[in-house]
Amino acid sequence: MWCRRLGSLCKVPCLLGGSIRHRSPWLPCDRRTVLAAAARWRHTAPESLKCAWQLHGDHLELRYANTLMRFDFVWLRDHCRSASCYNAKTNQRSLDTASVDLGIKPKAVLCSSSRVRPDGHVTRYGLEWLVKNSYEGQKQQVMHPRILWNAEIYRQAQVPSVDCRSFLETDEGLKEFLQNFLLYGIAFVENVTPTKEDTEILAERISLIRETIYGRMWYFTSDFSRGDTAYTKLALDRHTDTTYFQEPCGIQVFHCLKHEGTGGRTLLVDGFYAAEQVLQQAPDQFELLSKVPLKHEYVENVGDCHNHMIGVGPVLNVYPWNNELYLIRYNNYDRAVINTVPYDVVHRWYAAHRTLTAELRRPENELWVKLKPGKALFVDNWRVLHGREAFTGYRQLCGCYLTRDDVLNTARLLGLQA
Ligand SMILES: C[N+](C)(C)CCCC[C@H](N)C(=O)O
Ligand SMILES: O=C(O)CCC(=O)C(=O)O
Ligand SMILES: [Fe+2]
């Protein structure tokens, strides 16, 4: 049974809605023959080629807004936004998906009929909603818009630091800061009172602080109070932190409270920029780095501190549907014995790791900054690597880790895509 009646909504194509009446166990369908004969393109209006659909044996094919989409029938039933299937107040599904017949088929597809007879369950979808939420639509989009940088690109962009008061007291200041942070993976706040307490207030403005084995707010000097090279005066090559957690910390905040001596500059490298170069030069190496799981490990036995952490995952982590990078796990100090990779793969992995390392080490990709009291640095620890130059004298840094979900939450609440 096909309906090509057009409701009043159809006059505005972007508001077109489609309705699907599902064949469900509680509503036996006798329209199989109609469905079988239905596999040809249908248009919402004879003169409009903007939207067309075709019903196949197990899915609905829809062409709209230059996107060809295919919707599985169970998917369509599962995403029904009717009052009995979805609670619009809580934005939660009420439908028990497991109760949907996996062989479900729509009884009819109607284009924006204003009068649908109340037999069977009716599911309505807006075309825009379908485009936005289809696999094909998502594939064309990035989850996180970013500007990949090397030192020159970052300098040219002249990204401003945000003033501490504006950051703390205005939504505009906070939004500007977060926008910079999301685009570049680093952002600075200036004129911060150089204390641990004031740094904590900053952190709490955008997120929950992630307490770890290093505490909530940490404070460190080169006193080797912990069994890690960070607590010395030695240089630290570029790395991301807490690679040995199953979920590495999302953001790291650094605030240098004091330095009387030389050296100690901070190195920042956009890991995604380097990975992108690997993808261009050697896509198979990129793939290897994104597929081969490795362990990172933290073993500490110094004073009263006894810890043993293990995190497993590939160096490059990508969303499987669009290959977009979302996390780089790179720390050659903390990388554990490789025992998760067979010998013939491991050699190719080392070659791929070498290619990535060469990109990460290109001098033109290195951004060097000297952290000074009053200037707090936020680093996206899932994207930007940090390191430091060896130093002399007394140097005191404070900071903390933030939970990524909560930073992104704040950004979304301010209207940013995160
Ligand atoms: C930042 N803070 C000094 C607290 C900890 C440093 C952790 C260092 C560790 N090797 C890692 O990369 O995870
Ligand atoms: O001392 C520094 O500037 C940074 C050390 C470091 O890598 C860290 O604390 O995670
Ligand atoms: Fe670090």
Of 132, 138, 143, 137, the closest CA to residue 317 belongs to: 143
Ligand 1 binding pocket includes 241 (Cβ within 6 Å): yes
The strand pair at 186-190 and 162-163 is best described as: parallel
Q: Within 10 Å of residue 37's Cβ, how many Cβ atoms?
A: 10
Closest ligand 1 atom to residue 244 Cα is: 13
| Sequence-ordered alpha helix ranges (H) in 214-329 | 271-281, 283-291
Write down the pLDDT at residue 19.
Answer: 54
By alpha-carbon position, which residue is closest to atom 6 of ligand 2? Answer: 230
- What is the 352 CA–ligand 1 centroid distance (Å)? 25
**How far is ligand 1, taken at its centre, from the CA of residue 241, in Å?**
6
For the chain, residues classed under CATH 3.30.2020.30 are 8-139
Q: Whose CA is nearest to atom 9 of ligand 1?
A: 241
Residue for token digits 């999302």?
250
**Which residue's alpha carbon is at the smallest distance from atom 11 of ligand 1?**
241
The pTM score is 0.89
Distance CA 15, CA 158 (A): 41
User: H helices then E strands: how many in the chain?
Assistant: 12, 24
Q: Where in the chain is the domain with CATH 3.60.130.10?
A: 151-413
Q: Are 253 and 400 in contact (CB under 8 A)?
A: yes
Q: How far apart are CA 180 and CA 41, in angstroms?
A: 46
Among 122, 124, 128, smallest CA distance to 51 is for 128
Q: Which CATH architecture has domain 151-413?
A: 4-Layer Sandwich (3.60)
CATH code for 8-139? 3.30.2020.30
* CA 319 / ligand 2 centre spacing (Å): 29
The answer to whether the beta carbons of residues 234 and 333 sit under 8 Å apart is no
Going from the Cα of 169 to the center of ligand 1, the distance in angstroms, rounded, reads 31
How many Å apart are CA 62 and CA 51, to the nearest integer? Answer: 7
Strands 266-270 and 217-220: unpaired
CA–CA dist 268, 360 (Å, integer): 10
- Ion ligand 3, residues whose Cβ is below 5 A away: 241
How is 107-123 classified by DSSP, letter by letter?
EEEEES-S---SSSEEE
| pLDDT tens digit at each of 418 positions of the chain | 222 222 222 222 222 344 555 443 322 233 333 344 456 777 766 545 678 999 999 999 999 988 999 999 999 999 999 999 999 999 999 999 999 999 999 988 887 644 445 557 888 898 899 999 999 999 989 999 999 999 999 999 999 999 999 999 999 999 999 999 999 999 999 999 999 999 999 999 999 999 999 999 999 999 999 999 999 999 999 999 999 999 999 999 999 999 999 999 999 999 999 999 999 999 999 999 999 999 999 999 999 999 999 999 999 999 999 999 999 999 999 999 999 999 999 999 999 999 999 999 999 999 999 999 999 999 999 999 999 999 999 999 999 999 999 999 999 999 999 9
Residue 270, token pair as written in the block: 């956009």
Which ligand 2 atom minimizes the distance to the CA of 266? Answer: 3
Between the CA of 252 and the centroid of ligand 3 the distance, in Å, is: 9
- Pocket, ligand 2, Cβ cutoff 6 A: 230, 236, 241, 266, 386, 388, 397
Cβ partners under 8 Å of residue 233, min gap 6: 222, 390, 391, 392, 395
ipTM score of complex: 0.99
Residues 379, 181: Cα–Cα separation, whole Å: 8
Mutate to test the pocket of ligand 1, among 196, 212, 241 (most ligand atoms within 8 A of CB): 241
